[in-house]
Chains A and B, each alone.
Chain A
Amino acid sequence: MSALKATLCLGAALGLAAAAHARPVSYPGGWTVMQRNTSTFSSLHLHYSPTFKDSIGVYGEQNWDGDWSFAGGQYNRLLKRWNAPKSQANLYFNLGAGYAETFEGNESGAAGFAGFAADWETRRWFTSYSVRGYDLGFDQDVHHTARLGVAPYIGDYGDLHTWLMVEVHNLPEADTPTTVTPLVRFFYGVQLVEIGYTPETERFMANWIIRF
């Protein structure tokens, strides 16, 4: 009961109602490839989980709003998980360090980022919130992302799962600071694919995750 209470408190604190990005940690010995293409950036993250609480890997990002690219290592840590009979909630920390460069190549140097992410998920509902701050030397950014999702039907393990979601992304320095992206998530076997569209920027979102 206390776990459920904590879960509800976390969800309320986030001010959201359901749907998380894919978890940045896997089971011990598990590998994950996460590729994202949104209205503001494209990224690739490959990580390995030595325990269910940790993952370490490489991360690369092309940021279309800031006109810069980043390449480096990333560490993810599950700070806390709340397991309830019908839900799960998580709090994560992530840290990255590497090298950043503007598209023009006129500025570059050591760079890093740090962030927190939280999610709450049932088989029907999904919510998430994440914040990440970048220090690129030549630029500093703070991104906020929140999601709400619902599964129109509940499938069994091994079935094709479908989620309808909305993602809100905020980057105060961007040309369009806040964007709202409706998307569809398809989850089958070890693969997860998301397709969305951002009206404010007239760009498609396409994300893909595979775990093995």
Chain B
Amino acid sequence: MMKPILMALALSATAPVALAEAPASEASLPADATLITAKVNGMVCDFCAQAVTAMFNKDEAVEAVEVDLDNGEIRVTLKGGAAMVDDRVEELVTKSGYDLVEILRATA
């Protein structure tokens, strides 16, 4: 009984931990970069945040992703000169398992 418990705890101590990326804001945007803020429903825990982060990071246009669970927002910084249309944002949110409410955009 105790052996699997100890093995699990030992593995958990050595496994990688993914933490939130550096915050994205309009003020810190690099030149030619775009900040997309997607307001979504259903994000209530870190597994939710990890899901949307992993999904957006698969897109080559994405430089960084920040998740604000308090406000239900995904803040996506695009690489300089890169673009992402609204339909793509909605696709990534939906494929992550959440519902898109609104998209806000800002450029440097």
Q: List chain A positions with a Cβ less than 8 A from chain B.
A: 3, 22-23, 25-30, 35, 37, 42, 44, 51-53, 64, 78, 81-88, 121-123, 154, 156-158, 161, 187-191, 193, 203-204, 206, 208, 210-212
Contacts and interface: CB of A to CB of B under 8 A. Distances in A.
B84 interface: no
Contacts of B18: 189-190
Interface string B15-37: 11111100000000000000000
B1 A42 contact: yes
B95 interface: yes
B17 A189 contact: yes
Given A52-B51, A206-B9, A208-B8, A88 B15 contact: no
21 contacts: A3-B41, A27-B97, A37-B4, A37-B8, A42-B4, A81-B97, A83-B41, A83-B42, A83-B99, A84-B41, A88-B48, A123-B45, A156-B69, A156-B70, A157-B46, A158-B20, A161-B46, A189-B18, A189-B46, A193-B12, A208-B9
B44 A37 contact: no
Contacts, number: 115
B98 A83 contact: yes
A16 to B, nearest CB: 16
B46 A35 contact: no
Nearest to B55: A27
B72 interface: yes
A188 B48 CA distance: 13
Contacts of A64: 1
A156 B99 CA distance: 21
A95 to B, nearest CB: 20
Interface centre among A44, A88, A212 (most CB of B within 10 A): A88
Given A52-B96, A88-B42, A158 B5 contact: no
A37 B4 CA distance: 8
Nearest to B101: A85
Given A22-B47, A52-B97, A191 B72 contact: no
Nearest to A203: B1
Contacts of B51: 26-27, 30, 52
Contacts of A190: 15-18, 50
Given A35-B4, A42-B1, A23 B44 contact: no
A158 B50 CA distance: 10
Contacts of B40: 83
Contacts of B11: 208, 210
B76 interface: no
Contact of A157 (B9, B41, B69): B69
A210 B15 CA distance: 8
B64 to A, nearest CB: 14
